[in-house]
Amino acid sequence: MTDTAPNGRVRTWAFAIRGAARQATTPARLLLVAKTALAVGIAWLVAPHMPGVVNDYPYYAPLGALISMYPTLMGSVRSGLQTVLGLAAGIGLATLVILTVGPTWWSIPAVVGLAVLISGTGWFGAGREYVPMAALFVLIIGGQKADDYSLGYLVQTAVGVAIGLLVNLLIAPAPLTAQASARVDAFRAQLSAHLRDIGDAVSASWPPERDQWASDAASLADTTREIRVALMEADDSRRGNPRAMLRRADPRDIWAEMDALDTIAHHIRDISVTIADIIWDGPAALDLDPALPAPLRDACHAVADALPSGTDESAQAHRLRAGAARAVRRLLETVDDRTLQQGRSMGPGVLTAMHLRRILMLARPEPISAE
Q: Provide the residue type at 192 as one letter.
A: S
Do 184 and 325 reside in the same domain of the chain? yes
Same domain, residue pair 228 and 277 = yes
Same domain (yes/no): 304, 347: yes
Number of Cβ within 10 Å of residue 192's Cβ equals: 21
pLDDT tens track for 166-189: 998 888 777 778 788 888 989 999
Least confident of 207-216, 290-299, 324-333: 207-216
Q: Are 76 and 105 part of one and the same domain?
A: yes
DSSP E strands, 255-296: none
Judged against a pLDDT cut of 80, whether residue 101 lies above it is answered with yes
Q: What is the pLDDT of residues 45-100, one digit of tens each?
A: 999 999 988 989 999 999 999 988 888 888 888 889 999 999 999 999 999 999 89
What residues make up the domain containing 147? 30-170
pLDDT > 70? residue 368: no
Write out pLDDT tens, residues 231-273: 888 888 887 777 776 665 567 788 888 999 999 999 998 888 8
Q: How many domains does the chain contain in total?
A: 2
Same structural domain for residues 194 and 323? yes
Q: Would residue 22 count as lying in a domain?
A: no
Q: Is the pLDDT of residue 371 over 50?
A: no
Q: Is residue 7 part of a domain?
A: no
Q: Give the model's pLDDT for residue 310.
A: 72
Domain termination site, one of 170, 203, 234: 170
Question: 68 and 207: one domain?
Answer: no
**Whether residue 265 is found in the same domain as residue 336:** yes
The pLDDT of residue 216 is: 67
Residue 149: name the closest of 67, 45, 56 by CA.
56
- Provide the 10 A C-beta neighbour count for residue 343: 7
302 and 185 in a common domain: yes
DSSP code of 172?
P
The CA-CA-CA angle for residues 10, 16, 19, to 5°, reads 140
Q: Can you give the pTM of this predicted structure?
A: 0.67
Helices 146-170, 27-46: inter-axial angle, 10-degree rounding:
140
Residue where one domain finishes, among candidates 170, 190, 211: 170
* 308-349 pLDDT, tens digit each: 887 777 888 888 888 999 999 998 888 888 777 766 655 677
Q: CB burial class (10 A; 0-12, 13-18, 19+) of residue 215?
A: exposed
237 and 327 belong to one structural domain: yes
In this prediction, residue 285 has a pLDDT band, given cuts at 50, 70 and 90, of low
Pair 19, 33: CB distance under 8 Å: no
| Residues 346, 221 within the same domain | yes
Comparing 36-45, 149-158, 345-354, the range with the smallest average pLDDT is 345-354
Pair (186, 333) in one structural domain? yes
Q: Which of 135, 170, 205 is the last residue of a domain?
A: 170
User: Is there a domain that residue 228 lies in?
Assistant: yes
Residue 219 shares a structural domain with residue 325: yes
